[in-house]
């Protein structure tokens, strides 16, 4: 499948997370994004160096600035299970805005056309690193990384688009 692109409608999919009462839940991407301006960003793996030290912090640190630019939801997706995502989210104690959602089977990642085969590194199928801005489900920005790059998908890169 071709990777998601500007002008496409983001596909719906059900992803896992833990709610504030520590109950395992499922949520539809469309329930979070329909009628809103949202950022979906994907990372190859929880607890991995670039994801943990650069990618997620760019969004947790710039969340309020993104909100002032009209962003209503900031969603981090990774091909990990909800238990891992819950523990990873705890490593960003100041975070109040980024939702951590688990795509344990990579089904949603495949729907986006953004799967990345890291089997040779012992990681299996993961997600390419990316950042999307969608307005009422229509993709307005699709910043997709190649390989292990981190050059176009940070919060700062999204702010450049929002400031234009």
What's the Cα-to-Cα distance from 66 to each of 25, 98, 155, rounded to whole Å? Answer: 26, 11, 8
**pLDDT tens series, the chain, 164 aa:** 799 999 999 999 999 999 999 999 999 999 999 999 999 999 999 999 999 999 999 999 999 999 999 999 999 999 999 999 999 999 999 999 999 999 999 999 999 999 998 888 888 899 999 999 999 999 999 999 998 899 999 999 999 999 98
What's the Cα-to-Cα distance from 72 to each of 36, 97, 109, 117, rounded to whole Å? Answer: 6, 9, 22, 31
Homologous superfamily of 14-163: Glutaredoxin (3.40.30.10)
Please tell me whether the overall predicted TM-score, pTM, comes out greater than 0.85 for this model. Answer: yes
Catalytic residue numbers, as ranges? 51
Domain ranges of the chain: 14-163
């Amino acid at each position: 499948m071709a990777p998601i692109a500007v002008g496409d409608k983001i596909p719906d999919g059900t992803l896992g997370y833990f709610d504030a009462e520590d109950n395992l839940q499922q949520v539809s991407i469309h329930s979070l994004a329909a009628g809103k301006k949202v950022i979906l960003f994907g990372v190859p793996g929880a607890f991995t160096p670039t994801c943990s030290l650069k990618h997620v912090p760019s969004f947790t640190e710039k969340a309020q600035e993104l909100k002032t630019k009209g962003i209503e939801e900031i969603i981090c997706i990774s091909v990990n299970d909800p238990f891992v995502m819950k523990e990873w989210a705890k490593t960003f104690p100041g975070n109040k805005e980024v939702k951590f959602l688990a795509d344990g089977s990579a089904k949603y990642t495949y729907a986006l056309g953004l799967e990345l085969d890291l089997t040779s590194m012992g990681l299996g199928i993961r997600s390419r690193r990316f950042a999307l801005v969608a307005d009422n489900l229509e993709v307005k920005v699709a910043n997709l990384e190649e390989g292990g790059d981190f050059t176009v998908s940070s919060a700062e890169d999204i702010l450049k688009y929002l400031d234009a």
